[in-house]
Structures are given as structure tokens and as C-alpha cells.
Amino acid sequence: MLLLYIKRSHGPRCSVSDLLKHRYLIFSGTSLQNCRMMTMSLIWGVLVAVCCCLWLITGIRRRHPGEPPLDNGPLPYLGCALQFGANPLKFLRAKQKKVGNIFTCKIVGKYVHFLTNPFSFHTVMRHGKHFDWKKFHFTTAAKVFGHRSIDPNDGNTTENMHQTFIKTLQGDALHSLTENMMENLQHVLKPSVPPQENPAPWVTDGLYSFCYRVMFEAGYLTLFGKELNSNKDLQKQKAQRAIYLENFKEFDKIFPALVAGLPIHVFKSAYNAREKLAEALLHKNLQKRDKISELVTLRMFLNDTQSTFDDMEKAKTHLAVLWAAQANTIPATFWSLFQTIRSPEALKAAVEEVHNVLKNAGQKVSFDGKPIVLTQAQLNDMPVLDSIIKESIRLSSASMNVRAAKEDFILHLEDGSYSIRKDDVIALYPPLVHLDPEIYPDPLTFKYNRYLDENGKTKTNFYCNGLKLKYYYLPFGSGLTKCPGRIFAIYEIKEFLILMLSYFELELVDRQPRCPPLDQSRAGLGILPPTNDIDFRYRLKCL
């Protein structure tokens, strides 16, 4: 075959010596090419080997005397991230069983010390002077929302964000915030025209989609107010809020990837959604709105007077507020309503409590009368709804309480003393407590009255190994890292449940539905949403 090819290439007068000479050149060229390929392969092999050696020398941390057991994980940089992300609870329980109540794992370049003994949590709080709990949150916020750091130490602003939240989400400021949320929920839920049919027709919807839509719209109006002359062109305004909702969903969908360090420009649609949400929150647009919350009004003032942020960065700090107010409240609302409808005992007890509270408050449920108004004291006196919400959150929360070490120090625990290095992270993972059968018998089962004592009042005594626990419920963080908006979030959910149980008949399409799995991709961020929606039916009651 080779001879025929050479003959055709050189014509009919090619001699044997020419053939041999040409054949030598062909094979010489082939050998030279093979040599070059082997050389390049050797060079690449050496480079890979050198990189592996460098990683072994500098990338793998060595455990020093007095430090917790260490696991660098199987992968460079990622460490144990994939195993942890697949099932955090299973991973941490296996580690705890193998090495004890404190251990260190490399996760995405950080060394994280996990504490799994709930009796050690209060000791961590006492070491507060060694921790910087803001650093992680400030860095993550800047990366995710696209503004410069809001840490006053970085020189972009002098605002103390935590104090702003405390001032505007707790105490006296909470009264108007709660009242406005109740008003906006009724604005979203109640029909503009009373039903003509009696009984009203059933409407089928996805329960999570329904909760998402209602809570987002009412929450947005509560924080950022209504457009001036809001009685004009109501359909156009509602359509605009629907666009905000879709943009929020698109952005929130890739939130875990952004926290993990991926740049938002990889996700073009999410990037566009974020920018559009921020545009709506530009100060020039917010100034066209009425009844803006004290939180946003104060933040606008502080952004203008105490920061060097440009207009878009200011808007993106408001977007961070919007996300913090919605991202966990919405799935918590879904789980609370789902578990209530799913459990006949919970539904009966909740309806009875709501009826009694409204009756004692002199509130009448109607479609054309005055809206329902409840004081904070009346909302606080609802232990059944409190227990339902707590139990729903206990089963679905997967927040991570983290603190970064400001310096090398010794952490003294009940189990012993451990050396902690500067910039290491101390992490508490609440599901280890929330799903511990020693603390909560039959922990995977929803029990609406789990947080009620024998007198029907709020239960606060929980035990582990016969000892009373101080930290038995931690979905909102602990110590200084506790969410400043947690009280308002519970009020929001409670108000939603009150209105749903007052105005609507509710039932699940599948009378014996399986509880949808939790979306573990958001582990560490708060309340986990369901992986799939649940169909339900609702219709207005005959009032």
C-alpha cells in the first residue's frame, strides 16, 4: 500500500534507490515527530508531578499538637466539599462517630472546625472576642450582590448594618412593619370583588408557588412601599411585581453557586435578573414610592450620607435586604402551611386558636369590611401557631452558624481544649441538634404540639442525656450572629396562616401526600425549599 502511494506521488520513473531514500525520509520524519510528542508528554508529566508535589507540600495542612482531628479531603482546594454538599447531616454524623465531637474539614479552601456537642455551643459564645462573625457575611454579600464591601473597616461606608437592622426590625419599629405586612397580605389575598357564586369555585395551584407569590409580593410592598398614586393602573403595577418575582427567582436559583465562589457572569440570565432587580431599587425609583419601611428609608439616608457607593451599588445593598427578607421566609411559610393542611389535628387546633384570637380581639372576617388588624400582644398569644411554625422550621432548616478566628487561640470546651489558627472557621450545624432523637423523639415526624407543654403553653425545656439544653432550637443563628429580623419573619408567617385559615377552605389534591424531599443544594443557607411542588385547592369561605 505504501509503495503504491509513493509510486503515484513520484511518477513512473522513480528508481528503487529513490524509493528507499524517500522511505528513509518518511520513517525519519515519523520518528522525529514521535520523539517530539514523547518529549512534550514527558514535560507535561514533570509539570503535573511538580504541581502535585507542591500541593502535597503546601496545599495539605498538617495537624499540629493540640488541634482537632483533621481531614484535608480527597480533592485539592475543594477538600471535603463534595461529600459535605451531597448530604451534610450524614457526613457530619459519620465524622462525629469516627473522631469525636470536634473535627476539622477543608471545604473550598477554608479549614472549618465543626462542633457537634450542643453542650459546647454556649462555650463558643463566651469566646466571642476571638471571633469575627461579620467577615464571612460581608465578603459573601459583596461577592453575591455585586457591591463593594459594607464592612466599615474597608472604608466604603461608616454604617453599622447590624445596628441598622436592630433599630428598624425590632422594638417600636416592629409595630408599623407588622401592621403594614398584615395590610399588604390582605391586599394580595383578598379578591377585589366579593365572590358572586356561593360557594366560591375551587382553585388549584402549586402550594409552594402560591406561598412564593403571595409572600414575595406582600413582603416587597412592606419593605419598599407602593407606587405614588397606587390606585391608578393596578393591573400594570401587579404585572410589574410579577416581573420582579420572576427576576428574584432567577437570581435566587443560582445563589448557592455564587456563595461557593462561582462568578455571576457565568450565569447570564441570573446576572441580568440581578441587575434588573437592582435598577428598580435605585434611589431615584424608590423616591417615587409611598409608605417605604423605616428600614429602607434609613438605609437610603445612610447610603447617601455615610458611603462612597455609586447609585447602582446603593441599589444592590437594598437588593441584599430584599433577599435576606424573602429567601428563608418563603420556604418556611410553605412548610408551615403544608404541615398544617396535611395534619388534621394541626389544622383543627390552628383554626380553633385563630377563631378565638379574632373573636377576643373583636375582629370580624369579611370580604367587604375592615381589614383584620392584630396587635403584637395578640400575635404573641398564639402558642399553637408558634409550635406549628417552629416544628416546620425544625424539620427544614439547614443554616450554618459560622465565625472566623481573628487570631490563634485556645478553644476550651467540655470535651477538652483545642488550638485554633487565625482565619479558621468555627461552625455549628443546627440540624445535628434538631434531628437528634435524644433531644426530639421520632425527629423526622411532624408533631404540631412538640413545642407545647401539658398546659398548652410554649415549651422551653428540652434535654439531652438527661441534661437540660440551652441551645435546642437554632434556625436563626446564635449569640451575636442571630438574625435581627427573626421576630418579624415569624410574625409574617403567622399573619399569613391567620388569613389563609380565616378566608379560605384548604385541602391538598392528594389526600395522603408524601412529604417532598428537601433541596440539599441550599444546605448552609437557611430553610431548605422542597425539591418539587405540592398541588392544593383553595376557595373562599362562605362568610
**Which residues fall in the annotated binding site for heme?**
483
Q: Say if residue 8 is exposed, middle or buried (CB neighbours under 10 Å; 0-12, 13-18, 19+).
A: exposed
CB 111 within 8 A of CB 421: yes
Residue whose entry in the numeric block shows the C-alpha cell 459573601: 140
Q: Taking the alpha carbons of 8, 10, 16, 21 in that order, is the dihedral positive or negative? A: negative
Neighbours of 500 (CB within 10 A): 23
Residue whose entry in the numeric block shows the C-alpha cell 434535654: 463
Task: Indicate the annotated binding residues.
Answer: 143, 328, 483
d(CA 7, CA 17): 13
Q: Residue 357, CB half-sphere, CA atoms under 13 Å: how many?
A: 27
Task: Indicate the annotated binding residues for substrate.
Answer: 143, 328
CB 526 within 8 A of CB 400: no
Q: Three-state secondary structure along 223-236?
A: HHCEECCCCCCHHH
Kindly state the cell numbers that stand for 55. Answer: 500541593
**What does 306-318 look like in DSSP terms, one character per residue?**
HB---HHHHHHHH
Residue environment code for 440-455, b if the CB has 16+ CB neighbours within 10 A, otherwise e? beebeebbbbbbbeee
Q: Angle at the Cα of 216 (from 212 to 220), degrees rounded to 5?
A: 180
Q: Taking the alpha carbons of 142, 148, 150, 151 in that order, is the dihedral positive or negative? A: positive
Phi and psi dihedrals of 479, rounded to 5? Answer: 60, -140
CB 92 within 8 A of CB 429: yes
